[in-house]
Amino acid sequence: MSPDRLYGALTSLGLRQEEAKILFLGLDNAGKTTLLRMLKHERLVLHQPTQFPTSEELSIGKIKFRAFDLGGRQIARRAWPDYYAKVDAVIYVVDACDRERFAESKRELDALLSDEALAKVPFLVLGNKMDIPHAASEDELRYHLGITDFTTGKGKVNLADQTARPLEVFMCSVVRRMGYGEGFEWMSQYIK
């Protein structure tokens, strides 16, 4: 996706009075911090596992929103619920190559999806690391996350006719800068 389209996708976030609050969640090693750094600095940086929650104002073009990177290690996950109030969107990152942990990732995603505090919040699931040849396909990831029947479609939505919680899967590679822009574009339709 071109920077212009990504910019366009995020424009709606910038029209708000307050910053949108977006949580970056998912297991450790999924690529959350790498994505955040890429969005913020447009370059690839290597990271230590995130030990403490961080929050940053992100701007892409003139658009600002606040992103919370809470860390995905088991101990860090315990703090996730402290951040659920007034969330505008959740970006749930999955390592699409780490099949051994799909079940664990599904458990955490299920817990998030069934949390009352996040009941109406749009979820963008990013299947990351598509640049690695044995990465799972989008269908495979949907299947293992158990959300095949719950995703709401990638097209433009009629917000007035919205009964199901917005939930979609986009495959991406943060290191190749592919895929997540389309995901943001989809998600931005739901952020009012």
Terminal C-alpha separation, the chain: 23
Give the one residue of 5, 47, 86, 154 binding ligand GTP; rule: CB under 6 A. 47
Q: Where are the beta strands (DSSP E) in 72-179?
A: 89-95, 123-128, 167-171
Residue 33's Cβ-count burial label (10 Å; 0-12, 13-18, 19+) is: buried
The entry of Mg ion, ligand GTP, none that residue 79 binds, CB within 5 to 8 Å by partner kind: none
Site for Mg ion in 16-35 (CB under 5 A): 33
Is 179 known to sit in a ligand binding site? no
Order of strands across the sheet that contains 123-128: 54-60, 63-69, 20-25, 89-95, 123-128, 167-171
Q: Which residue has the tokens 């009964």?
A: 163
Please report whether residue 25 would count as binding ligand GTP according to CB under 6 A: no
Please report whether residue 128 would count as binding Mg ion according to CB under 5 A: no
Please report whether residue 72 would count as binding ligand GTP according to CB under 6 A: yes
Q: Convert 43-57 to b/e letters by CB count within 10 Å (16 or more is b).
A: eeeeeeebeeeeeee
x/- mask, ligand GTP, residues 95-124, rule CB under 6 A, reads: ------------------------------
Q: With respect to ligand GTP, which residue has the nearer C-beta, 75 or 160?
A: 75
Is 33 known to sit in a ligand binding site? yes
Site for ligand GTP in 163-182 (CB under 6 A): 173-175
Size of the site for Mg ion (CB under 5 A): 2
Please report whether residue 32 would count as binding ligand GTP according to CB under 6 A: yes
Which parts are annotated binding residues for Mg(2+)? 28, 33, 50
